[in-house]
Chain A
């Protein structure tokens, strides 16, 4: 850089345009809207679970789906907070939600090792893969919205922002697909539904940081 600071300041002042600050409420609104559109798209394309439609709710389904929703919102909130730099901001609240969701695969492994479910049957794997694929697909809109928001912002921890983008998108994506998937088996939910979150978290961690560095 060769020009002196006074010349640079004069140049920057000359280029100043009024700006609309990034608002937390707007960011969260976009993320939730994207999640709602994804959920509606899943329902429109695949239909809604018959028991939910009839107003009957399985407890395992309710708890698991609720946990994914809470983790998705917690991670999305963190991503939006991270888009605005600030010394001293704590970005660790989502960890507790993630720890609670992590109980699902742990429970699934305990139950499956106890012989409670056949996780290796062809039918079980095919159904799991369907959840993984469609849940992953239902994550993409939230993923894109959060990446766009981060690109507008100034995340000072791009790696973590990428990971959390994936976690938020994956959790909200599988929440959307849970409106269709009629399986209440903890093994299926713990392995395959949590797998969507893991898959998207890995993708977010790998793909997002180069896109949001500034």
Chain B
């Protein structure tokens, strides 16, 4: 759905995006992670033909960008760096106006499309109020409604949960997952690890303009080869597993054994009760920190 090769953008002496090879496949919920200023938004703008690349190629739905934007973008819904609307008009009037832009959408079904989009994002009740009076969360919903107007095959969303309350974030997540289940590919850029971890199937991590990791989330979060165990007597367990314990925190131990069953058998055999036991997996935060060299200021 999205494929870039050697994508580079230079602003004067600053290299904003550096030889980026992005690969988003059909059906993915792709999480594009990076700190503020790492080049996420510049990349999104290049994908949509707003910013012209210094070098490299972009393919969107199989067609070259920016050359073929006129034929490709009607099948793409986008939310770029915060929502925007004509503030003196109502939410509904804004959607109707945006729907009329760019052709390819008949006047006959406009009303239905607008109502459906409003319904999807839960904005139907506030649709007749002027956008001027909307909260940031409502504007965000309106922006998403605008992206959904044409039932796009690909959604490109830049920080979509920005400004939403926990309830709104949950609704947004459910909406995106149901859209994905119905066949929409989603490309989501974010600096929120938790959001990406809950939503995405594939992850790309951007660090100072360079892609440092790109893989399936399940692969990235693979087992570390260690087992976490909690027992009734931490000290005794430590003694029993001596040499293979990486760390002990009270009754909780991290053991360098990749099979939890082996640890379990060992402890129970020695008469110790096991209250918690699982194979340790890498968290996304750890993945990102490892990939970006672990410097604390990279992911904010």
* Chain B associates with chain A: no
- B: residues with CB less than 8 A from A are none
- Chain A: residues with CB nearer than 8 A to chain B? none
